[in-house]
A and B are shown apart, each in its own frame.
Chain A
């Protein structure tokens, strides 16, 4: 199974951009890259996903390296409500849908 690697923790300031990296060097050609986050005492929440091209939505942007071996979740202006654990996940399109979860990055936002 393809694995992801993320830093254990990151810290940023409110209203500044945040770049959360994820390495997935053994990704297969059909794996989608998903990002989720989990606020304290809540279930994970979907943030964004992509395959090859960069993606934007109202929550964040996803930048995918050309070789797809890494990706970066970008929060353009962090708020205190963005403090959470962020998970980078690979999701297959066929077969048994084995999901592989990294340990996640705990993001702290300073006021």
Chain B
């Protein structure tokens, strides 16, 4: 079975803390994505990566950075968490651009207090 795993299902952090969200896929996919999902706003792309050490900004990259040192792992970093970053964070991976499906992880619900 194909699988995308995320390091935590639920996370509570304080304002100003550095937060790491990790995502691992076991399908040898080239492309990996980080989204956030908020009520009424649907899914929004934060960053994606199409190869190791390569990254592209999505629609809402402000306040986030990413790291992809290995093909199977894509990390999302909140350098200084703020309350407006409370959200559901979803990681996904896909093999090829434009074709085939994206496989999503179960999501991390992050609360910043």
Contact = CB atoms under 8 A, between A and B. Distances in A.
Nearest to A90: B98
Q: Chain A: interface secondary structure?
A: loop
B48 A49 contact: no
Contacts of A101: 42-45
A97 B106 contact: no
B99 interface: yes
A41 to B, nearest CB: 8
A96 B56 contact: yes
A102 interface: yes
B81 interface: no
B90 interface: yes
Contact of A46 (B48, B101, B105, B107): B101
A30 B98 contact: yes
Given A34-B102, A43-B106, A87-B42, 12 more contacts: A30-B98, A44-B90, A44-B92, A46-B101, A49-B100, A87-B43, A94-B98, A97-B50, A97-B97, A97-B98, A101-B42, A104-B42
24 contacts: A30-B98, A32-B99, A42-B106, A42-B107, A43-B104, A44-B43, A44-B102, A44-B104, A46-B101, A46-B102, A46-B103, A91-B98, A92-B97, A92-B98, A94-B97, A96-B56, A97-B31, A97-B48, A97-B50, A97-B56, A97-B98, A99-B45, A101-B44, A104-B42
